[in-house]
Amino acid sequence: MSDDEADPELLALLRQHLQGKLTLSEDPETGVLESAEYVCDNSIDVALDMRSCKNAAAAIYAQMQQQEYSAAKWSAHELHPKAKDEATVAFIFTMDLLNFSFWSEKPEADRFALSYRDKRWTGYWSLVAALQRALDEGIPITDSHFWQDEEECTLDVLKHVFRSSTDEEMPLLKERLACLREAGTVLYQKYKCHPVNLISEANGSAAALVNLLARDFGCFRDEHRFEGRRKPIRFLKRAQILVADLWACFEGAGYGAFQDIDKITMFADYRVPQILNSMGCLAYSPPLDAAVRAKREIPQGQSWEMQLRACSIWCVELIRREILKQHPGTTINAVLIDFFLYDTMKKMELEGLESIPHHRTRSIWY
């Protein structure tokens, strides 16, 4: 081929791009870690304490070893599905489609709660319990065909699915219905109505699956503008936790087999920033600290909120690196560290050991 002739491979690549068919690279990256580092480097209200991060890494590793903490903990919970089949994939997809905003300003006895299997469930577990109860009652809550049916899947039906044992309703029910509607449409149009086909499209890549979720589903596209930066900051909390839950449930096999699970970061939400602050890893500016302690709502997308989320991601990444540095060859990733920190913080809450509240942001993103 002469210098004057066009490269056919380059032309084909350009044609794919112009036609919107070039979507995933052979070695995909989610961009979440890059975004977190950028915000952390430019943060003025949240700062990392490196000595505390090193101390936290040692303590976290020791406790995880002592507890033999692993992905198997996921399936051990009584509410999580046990079968390793397509129905479980549909359950996890539905669960993480709706896995956001459970906090309440009401006292514990009055907050939104579910009664199921002779127990009272709040927070994230109220969602899982509600889905299990709906399936017990014959409501096909995990079926994308049901989500698309505007006569069957209505707001009133959703209110019934998430009916509370108290007077408080689950937050953002209209937004949850909108998520179901959109996801049902996308699954119908692109993935033959089932998330297993979405997983297949990712070809064993956790990062690719996260990117597919963010590309095709607006309700998973957790990316926002920060301080005038042209490139959006990506958090992708629910997209990442969906991948992590699949990995944990299927124990890295079958529908949970991802060769690059270590590319998944911590899931930026409320509880992990809370415990990282308690451990001295994250320090807040006086105005932010006062706002968090006063339980004032911080708007989604506001600088404080984005700094809290991004610095938490970068902090957990540094903790992960420190553990690997001190214990070469150990099996550790941000997913397991996040699960461990979340479980630890919830236990501290139950025991009344919280030293600071979690920040308050009402959002579909976490």
- Crossing angle of helices 206-216/195-202, nearest 10°? 130
- Quick check: 357 and 293 in contact, CB under 8 A? yes
Report the alpha-carbon distance of residue 357 to residue 283 in Å, rounded.
14
**3-state secondary structure (DSSP) of residue 241:** helix
Two tokens, residue 31: 């961009």
Distances (CA, A) of 31 to 89, 210, 223, 227, 272: 25, 10, 10, 18, 20
**Tokens found for residue 45:** 């209200």
Give the Cα separation of 323 and 315 in Å (integer): 12
Angle at 8 (CA atoms; ends 4, 11), nearest 5 degrees? 95
How many contiguous H segments (helices) and E segments (strands) does the chain have? 16, 6
CA distance 17 to 11: 10
Active-site residue, 269 included: yes
Catalytic residue among 45, 216, 222, 269: 269
Residues assigned a catalytic role: 269
